[in-house]
Structure 1
Amino acid sequence: MNIRSIDPRLLVGEGILLALAAVALGAGMLFPGDPQSMVAQPLLAPGAQAAHPLGTDMLGRDVAAGLAHGARATLLIGVVSTVFAVVVGGLIGVLSGYFGGWVDNVLGKITELFQTVPPIILVIALTVVLGPSIRSMMIAIAAVSWPPIARLARGEVLALREREFIEACTAVGMTHGRIILRHVLPNIAPPILITISIVVATSILIESGLSFLGLGDSNVTTWGGMIGAGREMIRTEWQLTAIPGTAIMLTVLALNFVAEALSEGRDPRLALG
């Protein structure tokens, strides 16, 4: 592919995501030790000490270390919860669209049941019931993220089910499982993959909101937790919320860039518009 034809949003988005992934993976090497430990005088301004380039918070914790280790936890929550959502939502959507009939009715009602409750209310309720932890946040976020994926997968399968090659596979006696694995899943994968970027971004925002509200794991540093800890001093020490907030903004922006570029690349009519 000619590099001139590559959407610049895709390059920018992938560049930001690769940089964040590198920071998350190398957090232990860049900032060894516990990021929640007091390492210097509280409320050092950014740039005041070379050892702590982003300063310290009200407890003397290194903001840069928290940002790096928080990237690992925040991205992990976003990615793992999205994987669960894609597996559950994709499976329900494929089965619902492929078999139709009572299977579609039952799975459709289950999907509608989860969508009748406002997502933020369901997330908070599940997190409170399961207890504040990384695992409970993953479960809660996955629980509100799979219904849109299920509806997307169902719609794609319904359009695909009437195609001639699917009918030909059925006519020659190919099993349903083989048809789904060899012909249905590969054809519905592109729109699902595009949606994954949006789901990861939404998951990160939800996690940040939960941590901001104090429903996250207090023993694990996350970007939302850093914002929540610094909100009481936002008038005088605004950088304590602005730094992790900027990290969240850049991550979500990068994921949206990737999703938009992939979506328009899949549909040439959008690119021409």
Structure 2
Amino acid sequence: MKLAFTKMHGLGNDFVVIDGVRQRVNLDPEAIRFLADRHFGIGCDQVLLVERPVDPSRALFRYRIFNADGGEVEQCGNGARCFAVFVREQGLTQADTIPVETLSGPIELRVEADGQVTVNMGRPRFHPDQLPFLAPTEVDEYPLEVDGEPLRIGAVSMGNPHAVLLVDAVATAPVERLGPAIEHHPRFPDRVNVGFAAVRARDRIDLRVWERGAGETLACGTGACAAMAVARRRGLVDTRVRVDLPGGSLVLSWSGESDQPVWMTGPATTVFHGRIER
């Protein structure tokens, strides 16, 4: 297997992006793990695959996301911004607004005049069945026992499942200890991404994220949306919020209405192009 690829990142959340439109691509879990390996492969948090859409009348591309462990996942906000920049840089489209298919449904990407990308991330889904999360009813906050420790979490799907834990300060949050324990908690049958969020003001959240199948990353777009949605639903933040992650900042907007999407704006950076043979 010889593949042309592009290395990109969104606030340090890094990706191997592969054009599956103009080259034949066969990615099984072993190949994904090889590409993502930082010692023997290229190295990345996720592998992104650009494909032709299933329904060309509704989308320009199909956007597929694979975690470093080889598993395919539903959504990745930082990856979506990189996807938009990639297809334009590669001459696959010159459209400013790019509708794409994802495993979790259609989303829309918009390249702004300053080069940043705004993504319609879809509406937050709070019902436990939509994550999935084992709970008898939908509430704003759930008790969760982790290794004998009682916690309180918010739970929301942004196309992929998120648990959000409010903390006093992200610098001292027990990400390495609680992240994997919550990710694999039996009440999350499909595992879960875990956000550790500190609300600093009504327009600012600090955030660290333990990503399902990848570990802690420098930034997580859907994690930022999830943290903002959980905080907004509890009345802790306003409709527009800056979320500061270890890799940089994203701007999120959500009205708080259940039928309205979260909008995310942030950068996407191309690092280098290459070819790899497996």
Structure number with greater Rg is: 1
Query: What TM-score, normalized by structure 1, do the two folds share?
Result: 0.25
Q: Which has the higher strand share?
A: 2
Q: Which has the higher contact order (CA 8 A, sep 6+)?
A: 1
Structure with a larger share of its residues in helix: 1
TM-score by structure 2 length?
Answer: 0.25
